[in-house]
């Protein structure tokens, strides 16, 4: 029975840079079509910062309403994200933008009600509401979402080293478990497990929260054993 071997991709950062550029290009093109363009694909909020900001550009020619708000991932809270109150304020939450105009969005933390021993993730929603449409004309409000990572002040470790701390375990040759023991989120572009030319498991775009585990069922291959684990490029 062959053994399972896991090894990090030594081209991790160069691969991620190319992938990030590709994702940014796709996001930028989609944003241009939507009318609004964000100047970042994610926000890092350090706990000792009074506020963080990001820019929005209305690349269209018409005036729009811009609505912005934060919400927690539903899986993290078990509550309806739309009704949950968070200790953050986005300002301005609603504003008009002229065609070609720019707007700075500020995210402000009240200083309470967030875990202090691990990173938290929130969704920032930015929605474009076009002017009142003419009669018999379809009007569409287009929303973009990016992640906001809140990092409490004084957390141990380096977030760039978090991928190296992942624990990989096998169970009865038919499953794989990966655990994130760090206080930081780890985003993986892909997890792939192969034996020879057979793909035993493949998962796209997975994010592990601090202390979270992921169970991956493996395809059983005749002849016994699973082998060859090659996993992810990290964000």
**Predicted TM-score (pTM) of this structure:** 0.74
SS3 helix, strand, coil % of the chain, rounded to 5?
Answer: 15, 45, 40
Per-residue pLDDT of the chain (235 residues; tens, 9 = 90+): 343 444 333 234 444 444 444 444 444 444 444 489 999 999 999 999 999 999 999 998 889 999 999 999 875 545 555 556 899 999 999 999 999 999 999 999 988 889 999 999 999 999 998 876 666 666 677 899 999 999 999 899 999 999 999 999 887 768 888 999 999 999 988 888 887 788 888 888 889 999 999 988 888 765 444 433 444 434 4
The answer to whether 20 and 189 have CB atoms below 8 angstroms apart is: no
Question: In the chain, what are the domains?
Answer: 6-14+156-231 (2.60.40.10), 35-151 (2.60.40.10)
Does residue 92 have a cis bond before it (omega within 30 degrees)?
yes
The answer to whether 193 and 170 have CB atoms below 8 angstroms apart is: no
List the structure tokens of 66: 């811009």
For residue 142, list its beta bridge partners: 128
d(CA 229, CA 176): 10
The count of other CB atoms within 10 Å of the CB of residue 162 is: 21
Q: CB-based contacts of 182: which residues, under 8 Å, 6+ apart? A: 157, 159, 161, 162, 165, 210
């Amino acid at each position: 029975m062959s053994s399972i071997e896991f090894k990090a991709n030594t081209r991790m950062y160069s691969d991620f840079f190319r992938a990030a550029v590709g994702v940014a290009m796709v996001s930028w093109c989609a944003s241009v079509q939507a009318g609004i363009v964000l100047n970042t694909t994610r926000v890092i909020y350090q706990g000792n910062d009074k506020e963080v900001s990001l820019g929005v550009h209305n690349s269209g020619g018409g005036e729009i309403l811009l609505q912005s708000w934060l919400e927690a991932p539903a899986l993290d809270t078990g509550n309806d994200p739309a009704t949950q109150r968070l200790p953050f304020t986005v300002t301005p939450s609603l504003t008009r933008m002229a065609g070609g105009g720019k707007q700075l969005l500020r995210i402000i933390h009240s200083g309470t009600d967030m875990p202090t021993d691990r990173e938290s993730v929130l969704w920032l929603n930015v929605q474009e509401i076009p002017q009142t449409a003419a009669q018999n004309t379809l009007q569409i409000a287009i929303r973009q979402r990016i992640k906001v990572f809140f990092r409490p002040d004084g957390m141990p470790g380096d977030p760039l080293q978090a991928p190296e701390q992942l624990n990989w375990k096998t169970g009865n040759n038919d499953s794989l478990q990966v655990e994130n023991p760090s206080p930081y989120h780890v985003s993986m572009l892909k997890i792939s497990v192969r034996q020879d030319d057979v793909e035993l498991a493949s998962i796209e775009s997975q994010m592990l929260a601090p202390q979270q585990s992921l169970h991956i069922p493996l395809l059983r291959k005749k002849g016994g054993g699973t082998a060859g684990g090659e996993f992810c490029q990290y964000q």
